[in-house]
Amino acid sequence: MKRVSFFASATSAIFLIAAVMVSVSTASASITLPKVALLPCSAGGGAYCIESVSVTPSGAKAIKLSWVATGSSGAVSANSSNVVAGKEFPGRWTAEGAFATENYDGLYVEAQAVNEYVPWLMLDAKPTYSPGDKVSLAAIPANTTTPVNLNSDSLISVKLRISDFKVGVTYGIATEATVEVQPGFFEIAGYPVKVPQARNNKDCTGNSGVSSAVVTQFQSILVPSNDPLGFSFEGGSGKIYVGSNGICKLSTPVWNSTTKSLSYKASAPRFAPDGKTVNTGFYYATISAADALALWGLAKVEDAASALVVSVRTTEGGSAAATKTVAVKNGKIIIQVFGFEFPDPMLDISLNPSFDVMASSKSADSNMSATATVRTTASPKPKASPKPTTISCLKGNVLKKVTGVKPTCPTGYKKR
C-alpha cells in the first residue's frame, strides 16, 4: 500500500492543498485528470463529468436536481436573509422545492483534481445564491469568501462519471456517508457537518489555534488505486470511506500490516471563534465486508464489534475521551467516534489481539454449510400392488367362493 499525505489549510469552504509526497515523489502518474472543474455530463462533460446530484430533505423523498447555467432562471430560495453573493459560478444544481426553506437556492458541485501534483479528485458541494439569475456563492454578509451553512439534515448525493479512475479510498467532510463504486462511475451520499475553519497553517497545530468560523460543509476526496500516487491493497474493493470534521492535515488512511492497524488523521484549530470554546470532533468510517476480509482476515462482519479495537490518540494537552461505536449495517462495518478534542487526534482501527480470526473463519464456513440449501429430486412413490378379494357365488344349492383382484362369478352363478 502506498502512503500519501498532504497538508490542508482551509480559509473558506474549500481545501487549499500543498502536496507532500512520502516515498513516491518520483513516481509517474498513470491517470490524467481534466485541468478544469468537471462539467455536468448533460452539458458535454466528456469522460470525467457530473452525472447527477440530488438532495433528500429530512422526512422527505429524494429530489433530483437539474443543472441550470448562470444567466438562466431557476428555483429560488424563500429565505434571502443573512446571505450575500460571493464568487461567481458557472451554474448550479437545483429544483423547485429542494431549497424552499434555505437561504441558498442550489448547489455548485465543484469536482476537480486537488492540484497538479496528484491525480486525486476533490468534490465540494457549495451553496449558491442567484439574484438576477447570476449564480454566485451564497456567502455570509461578514465575509464573501465564507459560505452559509448547508442544511445538516438534508442528505446530499453526487454521482460522477470517472472514466478509467479506479477508486482506492474516499475520505472527507461528511457523516453517515456511503459510497458506491462501479466501473466508470462513483457515487457518494452523506450529510454535511460543522467544520472549524483555519485562518492559517499555525492555527491547525498546538493548543492556541482559533478558528475563523464554523461552517457546515460537504466535501470529499477520491484517491485512485490504479496509480502510483494512489492508495491500494490486495483485495481492496474501493468502498472504504473515512470522514471527519477536522479539515487540517488531511491524509489518506495509513495501513500498518505489522500491527494490522488502519490509521487516519484530521485536525482543526483547538478553539472556536470565541477563543474559549474547545472544538470537538468526530470520525466516521464505513468498511465493506470485502475490505474487512482483506485487511484483517475478518470472515464475518458480524464479529466486528469484538474483532476490532477503535482508539483515538492525541498530542499532549488534547483529550482522547470519546464515544465509540462499532456496528454492522447492510453488510458494512460502521465505526463512529465523537466527542474528542482538537487539534491533533488520530483514529486507529486495529485487530483485537485476543480475537481468534481462525475460529471466526471456521465458524463462517460452518454456518455456510449449515445454512446451505440442498436441492434433491424425490424418487417417485411406488404404486401399491392391488390386493385380491373373495366373493361368494350361488347356483341353486351350490355355493362357490371366487378369489381374485377383480373376482367375478362363473356363468350361471349369482353373487351372493
**Parallel/antiparallel/unpaired status of strands 48-56 and 39-40:** parallel
Please give the pLDDT value at position 343. Answer: 86
pLDDT band at 318; cut points 50, 70, 90:
low
Arithmetic mean of pLDDT, 108-134:
94
Residue 163 has pLDDT above 50, yes or no: yes
For residue 26, the model assigns a pLDDT of 36
pLDDT average, residue stretch 246-268: 85
Q: Check whether 6 has a pLDDT greater than 80.
A: no
**Residue where the block lists cell 492535515:** 249
> What phi and psi values does residue 176 have, to the nearest 5 degrees?
50, 35
Domain boundaries, the chain: 5-367, 387-416
3-state secondary structure of 379: coil
Please, are residues 168 and 254 in contact by the beta-carbon 8 Å criterion? no
Q: What is the dihedral of CA 329, 335, 337, 338, to 10 degrees?
A: -40
Say whether pLDDT at 260 is over 70.
Answer: yes
What does the block give as the cell for 238? 474501493
Report which residue type is found at 366. S
Q: Report how far residue 290's alpha carbon sits from residue 122's, in angstroms, rounded to the nearest whole number.
A: 25
Residues facing 39 on adjacent strands: 49
Question: By CB neighbour count within 10 A (0-12 exposed, 13-18 middle, 19+ buried), where does 339 fall?
Answer: middle
Neighbours of 400 (CB within 10 A): 13
Q: Does residue 205 have a pLDDT over 90?
A: no
- So what's the pLDDT on residue 258? 87
- Calculate mean pLDDT across residues 151-163: 97
Mean pLDDT over the full length of the chain: 83
Q: What grid cell was written down for 59? A: 422526512
pLDDT at 11 over 70: no
pLDDT in tens, 14-24: 333 333 222 23
Compute the Cα dihedral for 154, 159, 160, 165 and give only its sign: positive
Max mean pLDDT among 350-354, 359-363, 389-393 falls in 350-354
- pLDDT above 50 (res 348): yes
> Which residue in 84, 101, 209 sits closest to 146, CA to CA?
84
Residues 269-281 pLDDT 10s? 999 999 999 999 8
Beta-bridge partners for 392: 401
Place of cell 457537518: 193
pLDDT beyond 50 at 3: no
